[in-house]
Chains A and B, each alone.
Chain A
Amino acid sequence: QSVLTQPPSVSGAPGQRVTISCTGSSSNIGAGYDVHWYQQPPGTAPKVLIYDNINRPSGVPDRFSGSKSGTSASLAITGLQADDEADYYCQSYDKSLSARVFGGGTKLTVL
């Protein structure tokens, strides 16, 4: 029952492209608040992949890209690699809750 909804899991073969959706509402993404994406490999702390909807921090490969439209956002990963296996979380701000909110997380499996 996260405020932002993500698919529990996605998978793809090495080299393929996958997308992870993040659906919110008029109280968060639809209200114009930015969406950020994090990658969390097993047993490690999260790391920002995409910030302010589309921006990549230095050091993040351009295989990762973000987009936002209406009340949703998406993370796309091209050229899948084995070390992309991780949990991915979207995050935004909700004006009704006056708080940061996260998606429930998506587990990416590289087949």
Chain B
Amino acid sequence: EVQLVESGGGLVQPGGSLRLSCAASGFTFSRCSIHWVRQAPGKGLEYVSAIGTADDTYYANSVKGRFTISRDNSKNMLYLQMGSLRAEDMAVYYCARERAGSNHGDYDHWGQGTLVTVSS
């Protein structure tokens, strides 16, 4: 069974940093592109970042230069290092798997999400 389990969320002050993790299991992690998608309280879904199988990385304009995505295929782990956090970064952060073999495909599996609160 495919599982994605996020962790690392919490309360952080504006300007602070936080690292999110996503533990993957049930599939060949190294062969899949994995994304971060966030959802602010009461709002819609927003793409944040993605990492491909060749460690190619992609970012939404809203987080470029502040967030860094990375992966450790030996541990089946995905990370999101978030810096210079702003109030508007407050959201539930989901890791999501891109459907294998697709180009700009859908997210066929999602984690349960981890909440990041940015407040002084």
Contacts and interface: CB of A to CB of B under 8 A. Distances in A.
Contact of A48 (B44, B61, B108): B108
B7 to A, nearest CB: 15
Given A45-B110, A45-B112, A51-B99, A100 B104 contact: yes
Interface in B64-120: 94, 99, 102, 104-108, 110-113
Contacts of A45: 94, 110-113
A33 interface: yes
A47 B110 contact: yes
A89 B44 contact: yes
Contacts of B50: 100
B45 A89 contact: yes
Where chain A touches its partner, the secondary structure class is strand
A25 to B, nearest CB: 16
Contact of A51 (B60, B61, B106, B112): B106
Given A45-B113, A47-B110, A99-B60, A105 B104 contact: no
Interface residues of B, number: 21
B47 A103 contact: no
Interface residues of A, number: 27
Nearest to A93: B104
A2 to B, nearest CB: 7
B55 interface: no
Interface in A1-52: 2, 33-34, 36, 38, 40, 45-48, 51-52
Given A102-B44, A105-B45, A57 B60 contact: no
Nearest to B110: A45
B67 to A, nearest CB: 13
Interface string B16-42: 000000000000000000010000000
Contact of B106 (A87, A91, A105): A91
A97 interface: yes
A85 B66 CA distance: 37
Nearest to A89: B45
A100 B106 CA distance: 10
B105 A57 contact: no
